Structure 1
């Protein structure tokens, strides 16, 4: 009889887990199984170890806990510690609060000179984003080989817990009218589906403006079989080659906020147990490399030892959808709204908008101070840019009487790569996205900006702009702001292609680095390694739909159910 797979052993394991849960401090609150990593044992065993409690990881963990023991290791804190920070009125301030080491937002600057943000909080990007909820395109669901009925059920599982139909008010109504007048037709009303034309999508903000996040999906979890450790920084995935022809993951090493290291291992001799990376498109390929799985020469150059597997595609295929906003001062008050409406034209660019957001001037100054600190740390070569930020007069006219319309280039086709900068998992790796390397992305940017200009100049939108103001003129506002660290080649909007390249921003939809077919197979198992999967946006070949969060949460649920079925059939 196999003791470790016997019902008696599993009963003892669960009972031990429950006892530890009852005896541990409950400082994190909200869920009984939410703990600070400092309260965790130095050695523990679980059926599944999930690295990252973000957009995918929370959904995955809640699902797997229905029939297995699960440990979630989240490097950040809990969104429930400060619920007001996630309310709609605090969106901008929370997103750019990057100087506090315990904040939920971590700044990184790509090698392209574009400011970006990584979430470090339970719930991941759903705690920081603009809240728009829209499903993936049907044709891409078909390309993945997913079972459509199970995809639909997984989306509904997410939607039942945290998605709402937004209440459309004045500014968003004018935005709809402007899109339709600009030819982004037909009008499809409210729908979660990705359909061409203009539509109202879902939102994770409830009618009172309170944000609901992927962390809320943990309400589905079995509290007796799951542990979530906060402020748990994973340093390495552990592998064994003993008795195997290829490496097999068997655990992880993580560090708590006091600097103490802990080891979590998979359930002894349970061949069904797995380590699952759900740390996001930056940390998942980074952690694979730090654990010895990646381009061997690059790992050796950084002193990674041992090198487990020469895997040259880890970190490749990085993509980020470029964004270009246009700010429109309004002659009359506007409601506070984030993304509720999207225009999906017949070219590869999406058009979204929001209104009435306030931003603290002092926090804006703090943000740029944080930029300077990071530039100094990275020894960024451009002293002129540092001087510009130091001398910048941030006399911003902070007002709620303004709207913003943005365009996101779909895909994108342009691709970059991720490399280690050092061996500290808490530091940002070096990331290059190669924005607009593919000319088709650039063409779509020009088409998107032209569509925004037409929306602003439409009769339907006219009451929300000052007389005599036109869309092309408003593009010039961006040229006066330090929105990125890229060289400026123009001082006007006469050349929209150059404008796109000079004024590139991110919409925070970065992905790639562990792509399906290159690093993982169609079941998200790491190629060449056993007992290790990657389930998050790092596996995507492109950013799904207009906004990826719906599909990332769906993926966690979908794969969780698939893994449980495999477990039962083992």
Structure 2
């Protein structure tokens, strides 16, 4: 078929698909192109693009690439549509804290003693998170070198499918009023933009409390051009290494739930075909190392061979935005709400809040049972947890009618690293974030907590406070909960710096490990290797906006379009020749 006629046919078919896209948005039937690897994956297959990870970036990227190329998505987890009510707002904590072997949330514990969670489900972290949607700062976009107009269009593409204006009720209104009273001004109302002051952001929960995720972006995909294999755990990226030529990615090996290994290769008809890692800040550097791209001595220690490229920066620059929380028992009923409002002061901390989530005692015990099991697997002591369980039942009962406010340190300069623990890609690697190692991060935490205490003590928030209770006095509540494995110090109640260190948690915004300028170039191509990119939060030098999910999805769309333009230009040049 003539190339130009082929392109016209493809454009018409894409347009027809978009116009009739509702037939693919019926979640009961699910997407025809999504299949279980164990029952559907052939032993050998060929695609123009192989996307490792059907998460926050991967779904947007794959849906875009499918408009003019064949795409394979390999997702190690299952589908959120298999249990749609599990993603409803009322089931948020149950789904998030469910750590059974086949759950969507995989528990891991950093070397800092902080509990973390990795998504293993189509849609990635958007299936588990608190739903807040906010774009990146203008300065952030400028620093990356992205084209501003294309960034805006990519955000809008995401927003059309899965972002809503939240319904602000009593507790969140008092939270807004308290922020304004203590000087987190001006009030910017509802906006996706990152602006100083207090604002209402977007949410991926619709007015009925139903969650919409990055998996919904696959409704944009051409079903004839995309294949998604679920429960497909990638074990290794394959390379061709000929003489003195640069290594070139040419496929992957993945395993299904029956333990059968499959091979997916890049189709040979185009020099532009690529393997693209979108497995997240933990799995992307881990998979690079397991495939022989990383610090040579470290790979040798774990028996990884052959070493494709000695790249000492893989796994370096790991960073997590530290979070500290204050729980506020309320004399008044509170609505169930997740993050809807953000305080964006001029110092380096953001403030968010939520209310009314119910945590059953059995769920807490199940979660901490999983923590103890993981500690035993890691051969780490479990004594730190045992002293908390006596107070656990009493304190958890209070949380069903309470608000909580959190501060997240913006752009922390404390950095850590990731290393292999073993060669099983389904196991957690060893991750160190070095929370509050740098004094500047600690100072920002103190400012954030001090502002929260003022909000709690403000007149506008007083309806949700018991008489005689102060914001400072509530710090003791968190100190009595097993929120991490770090030691508690007797002076934590009187020294906010020590409180920050003792009660640090993750806000699940970790990034780094495959950073731009160190592991990948500005087009996210892996330095020193052909046909391999990394497009996800592992490439970030710092996390965008108050919450990164909007920008991670945007990046998938933005880079997908850029890659397709490169492809079209290459094909047109080839046709002319």
| TM-score band w.r.t. shorter chain | over 0.9
Tell me the equivalent position of 2:165: 165
Contact 2:88–2:209 (CA under 8 A) maintained in structure 1: yes
Tell me the equivalent position of 1:199: 199
Distance 2:437 2:355 in 1: 32
Distance 1:119 1:497 in 2: 31
Tell me the equivalent position of 2:53: 52
Distance 1:41 1:392 in 2: 53
SS at match of 1:63: helix
Tell me the equivalent position of 1:43: 44
- Displacement after TM superposition at 1:29 (Å): 4.8
Distance 1:490 1:62 in 2: 53
Tell me the equivalent position of 1:20: none
Distance 1:469 1:85 in 2: 36
1:112 equivalenced with 2:112 (yes/no): yes
Distance change in 2, residues 1:383/1:365 (3 Å): closer
- What are the ranges of 5 or more consecutive residues in structure 1 without an aligned counterpart? 1-5, 15-26
Contact 1:28–1:34 (CA under 8 A) maintained in structure 2: no
Distance change in 2, residues 1:28/1:519 (3 Å): farther
Tell me the equivalent position of 2:384: 385
Distance 1:427 1:340 in 2: 34
Distance 1:393 1:363 in 2: 12
- Displacement after TM superposition at 1:267 (Å): 0.4
Deviations 1:89-144 (A, max 9, x none): 1111111111x111000000000000000000000000000000000000010011
Deviations 1:202-251 (A, max 9, x none): 00000000000000000000000000000000000000013761100000
SS at match of 1:173: helix
Please say which of residues 466-475 and 419-428 is displaced more in the overlay: 466-475
Contact 1:315–1:513 (CA under 8 A) maintained in structure 2: yes
- Displacement after TM superposition at 1:400 (Å): 3.5
Tell me the equivalent position of 1:452: 452
CA RMSD in angstroms comes to 2.2
Contact 1:51–1:276 (CA under 8 A) maintained in structure 2: yes
Distance 1:243 1:48 in 2: 25
Distance 2:36 2:242 in 1: 33
1:249 equivalenced with 2:249 (yes/no): yes
Contact 1:524–1:533 (CA under 8 A) maintained in structure 2: yes
Contact 2:417–2:513 (CA under 8 A) maintained in structure 1: yes
Deviations 1:29-73 (A, max 9, x none): 500001001111000000000000000000000000000000000
Distance 2:390 2:263 in 1: 48
Deviations 1:510-539 (A, max 9, x none): 000000000000000000000000000000
Deviations 1:455-487 (A, max 9, x none): 000001000111111100011101111111112
Tell me the equivalent position of 2:484: 484
- Displacement after TM superposition at 1:384 (Å): 2.4
- What are the ranges of 5 or more consecutive residues in structure 2 without an aligned counterpart? 14-26, 571-577
Deviations 1:338-370 (A, max 9, x none): 110000001010000001111121111000000
Which runs of structure 2 are paired with 1:437-448 in the superposition (5 Å)? 437-448=437-448
- Displacement after TM superposition at 1:490 (Å): 2.6
TM-score by length of 2: 0.93
Which runs of structure 2 are paired with 1:94-133 in the superposition (5 Å)? 94-98=95-99, 100-133=100-133
- Displacement after TM superposition at 1:398 (Å): 5.2
SS at match of 2:59: helix
Distance change in 2, residues 1:237/1:29 (3 Å): farther
SS at match of 1:68: coil
Number of equivalences:
553
Contact 1:361–1:398 (CA under 8 A) maintained in structure 2: no
SS at match of 2:393: coil
Tell me the equivalent position of 2:393: 394
Contact 1:358–1:398 (CA under 8 A) maintained in structure 2: no
Please say which of residues 324-333 and 150-159 is displaced more in the overlay: 324-333
Contact 2:266–2:274 (CA under 8 A) maintained in structure 1: yes
SS at match of 1:265: strand
Tell me the equivalent position of 2:17: none
SS at match of 1:400: helix
Tell me the equivalent position of 1:90: 91
Distance change in 2, residues 1:262/1:172 (3 Å): same
Distance 1:317 1:372 in 2: 28
- Displacement after TM superposition at 1:489 (Å): 2.0
Distance change in 2, residues 1:399/1:300 (3 Å): closer
Contact 2:375–2:382 (CA under 8 A) maintained in structure 1: no
Contact 1:487–1:502 (CA under 8 A) maintained in structure 2: yes
Distance 2:315 2:447 in 1: 31
Deviations 1:371-404 (A, max 9, x none): 0000000001x34225436766534215532111
SS at match of 1:473: coil
Tell me the equivalent position of 2:81: 80
Contact 1:175–1:461 (CA under 8 A) maintained in structure 2: yes
Tell me the equivalent position of 2:322: 322
